[in-house]
Chains A and B, each alone.
Chain A
Amino acid sequence: MTTDLTLDNPRTPHARTKRGINWEKWGWIYMRVSGVLLVVLIFGHLFVNLFLGDGVNQIDFAFVAGKLADPFWQWYDFALLVLALIHGTNGMRTIVNDYVAKASIRRILHAALLSSTAVLLVLGTLVLFTFDPCPAGADPELVASFCEDIL
């Protein structure tokens, strides 16, 4: 057996072998930046929906409509959607890379993560920005009080 192993001297500077964007580095940075933002956004989300008022019992269509009629909460929830879903998907990608040794299964799981994330991002964005808090013909008992002037 002939091995020809070339070793650099201990203090040789690290030479980058691949050109282009270092996606792993940016993924690492993304987890930390989005993580800090999510701590603030999700604590606010839980405080308003589960702690204030009637807690979990207050959540119904009228409650959500009342929030999403306000552009502040629309963009708040949009930020939550994008930051949390990509943060979660990238975390799942890390776990797949850690535990799935077989390349073909890894590829399938990566594809499943990517496609489900893409679908949910599009769905969630459409819901947030095409949402009508007072849908025509809706039961007046179920919609927000401000719909009385419209319906």
Chain B
Amino acid sequence: MPAKASGAGASSSSATIEVPVPRRSLIPGGTLYRGNEGMWSWVLHRITGVAIYFFLLVHILDTALVRVSPEAYNVVISAYKTEIMGLGELALVGAIGFHALNGLRIILVDFWGVGTRHQKAMFYVVLGVWLVLMIGFTPRHLMHVFGG
């Protein structure tokens, strides 16, 4: 049965309820979420997601040039082989790696029974696995780009 709460014309005999003043938080920022691992993983997930999206748009278009001519494709793809773009590719792979690993963390937070309890620990696992992958990829890619 729905309870009715009406503003004007409510019952005249209203009891006073004592509401305790909230204790001041010991955590700077005022919330458990703000400024901690949960927020930064969310911020990084957004930024990397947007960056990857715009690269994807360009990447579909540059790959579509294989349907135009071998010359057209080779000219455009040679732009990816410069030193500046080589560093851009490193950043892109780093962004994709973080987005992928943190995405798996989000899925575990959603579906794993104790996922929320371990979300902080899982963020550091994400950073650790990301670091290992980047240590594996970076020297090899830089050798390709700078001709080692």
Interface residues of A (CB under 8 A from B): 1-9, 12, 32, 35-36, 38-39, 42-43, 46, 50-51, 54-57, 59-62, 64-65, 68, 81, 84-85, 88-89, 91-92, 95, 116, 120, 123-124, 126-127, 130-131, 135, 138-139, 142-143
Partner of A123, one of B49, B50, B64: B64
17 inter-chain pairs at a CB distance below 8 angstroms, sorted by A residue, are: A3-B6, A5-B5, A6-B5, A7-B2, A7-B5, A55-B143, A56-B89, A57-B144, A59-B80, A61-B70, A64-B66, A88-B56, A116-B57, A123-B60, A124-B63, A135-B69, A142-B70
Selected from B3, B7, B141, the residue in CB contact (under 8 A) with A50 is B141
- Whether B8 sits at the interface, judged by CB under 8 Å, is yes
Distance, CA A92 to CA B51, complexed state (A): 11
> How large, as a class, is the contact surface on chain B?
35 or more
| Chain A residues positioned under 8 Å from B144 (CB to CB) | 50, 54-57
Q: Is the CB of A2 within 8 A of B8?
A: yes
Is the beta-carbon distance between B6 and A5 smaller than 8 angstroms? Answer: yes
Known contacts A38-B100, A51-B140, A142-B74: A3-B8 contact under CB 8 Å = yes
B74 with A61: CB separation less than 8 A = yes
- Whose C-beta in chain B lies nearest to the C-beta of A62? B70
* Residues of chain B lying within 8 A (CB to CB) of residue A38: 100
- A65: nearest residue on chain B (CB-CB)? B66
Judge whether B74 and A4 touch: CB under 8 Å.
no
* Structural contact, B2 and A138, CB atoms closer than 8 A: no
